[in-house]
Amino acid sequence: MVSSAELVQLLRAERVMPIIRSTASEDAVAIGRTLIDAGFRVLEVSLTTPGALDAIAELSEDPRAEIGAGTVLTATDVSAATAAGASFMVTPAVTASIEVSAAAGIPVLAGALTPTEVLAALERGATAVKLFPAEFGGPSYLSALRSPLPDAPIIPVGGVDVESGHEYLRRGALAVGVGSPLTGTGPVDLTAISSRAAAFRALASAP
């Protein structure tokens, strides 16, 4: 399992973390494999996906990428996701599962929006903070948030496309989490995902 320090280093290098939500486990696996083949090395699979644990188990067998479990709410979620092979946890808010993960040495990206929530997440042991929903305030809000908290490792999530992703990174985000602007909506189109992946991968080398 990756350590918290290693995950932060990997996210800083990768700059983009795809978030997979699907209506079926097999679709999540197909999307994940396509993204790994495209070069992504850190991926999140939301537990809201039916059969998410099976998808995590399959994808975690690929040594090229670290697979995290998203929408983690409880200690039971942490245990189940860890057993399935998840390398890290992602929460949608400040929950008790943050402390459960931290106590077990499992990296956790904790959802938060306000300065109070960001500090609460970090105090509970979060490896980094998932700024969610980031579209609530956009890149300018990230700048305002980082003014009193310049050292907080923050990953904006929610409505992040290539243009806003570049702006978040320019304003000091550790990385950005990207869902449907990368993976699409409706029927799974792996060719389209591969095409969009190239544009998002380019953010890793953007100034």
Which one from 14, 58, 66, 130 is the annotated catalytic residue? 130
Query: Is 66 annotated as catalytic?
Result: no
Query: Is 61 annotated as catalytic?
Result: no
pLDDT tens profile 9-59: 999 999 999 999 999 999 999 999 999 999 999 999 999 999 999 999 999
Which three-class secondary structure state does DSSP give residue 143?
Answer: helix
The 3-state DSSP composition of the chain as helix, strand, coil percent (nearest 5) reads: 50, 15, 35
**pLDDT at residue number 186:** 87
Which one from 14, 44, 66, 167 is the annotated catalytic residue? 44
Euclidean distance between the first and final Cα of the chain, in Å? 31
What pTM, to 2 d.p., does this model score? Answer: 0.96
**pLDDT at 207 exceeding the cut of 80:** no
pLDDT tens profile 97-152: 999 999 999 999 999 999 999 999 999 999 999 999 999 999 999 999 999 999 99
pLDDT tens profile 153-202: 999 999 999 999 999 999 999 999 999 999 999 899 999 999 999 999 99
Question: What distances in angstroms separate CA 77 from CA 7, 98, 100, 112, 179, one per listed residue?
Answer: 20, 11, 10, 19, 21
What domains lie within the chain, and their CATH numbers? 4-205 (3.20.20.70)
H/E segment holding residue 43: strand 42-46
Place of tokens 């995290």: 68
